[in-house]
Amino acid sequence: MSHPAERREPSDQPSRPPAGSVDPAEPVQSAAPAEPAAPVESAADPSQPAAGAHRRRSRLPLVLTLAALCLLIDQVAKSLAVANLDPANPPRLLGGLVYLSLLRNPGAAWSIGGDTGMTWIFAVVAVIVAVVIVRVAAKLTSTLWAVSLGLILGGAMGNLADRLFRSPGPFRGHVVDFLSVFGPNGEHFPVFNTADCFITVGAVLLVLTALLGIDFDGTRGEKQPAAKDSADE
Could you tell me if 116 and 191 are in contact, meaning their C-beta atoms sit under 8 angstroms apart? no
Distance CA 160, CA 115 (A): 18
188 with 181: CB under 8 angstroms? yes
3-state SS class at 3: coil
| Spatial contact of 63 and 150, defined as CB atoms under 8 Å apart | yes
Catalytic hit among 12, 23, 86, 196 = 196
Give catalytic status of residue 196 as yes or no: yes
Q: Which helix or strand (DSSP H or E) is residue 175 part of?
A: strand 175-177
Q: Which of 133, 142, 139, 141 is nearest to 198 (CA)?
A: 133
- DSSP structure class, residue 209: H
What's the CA gap between 116 and 212, in Å, rounded? 41
Is the bond preceding 36 in cis, omega lying within 30 degrees of 0?
no
Catalytic residue (choose from 86, 177, 215, 229): 177
The CA distance from 169 to 115, in Å, is 16
Which residues are annotated as catalytic?
177, 196
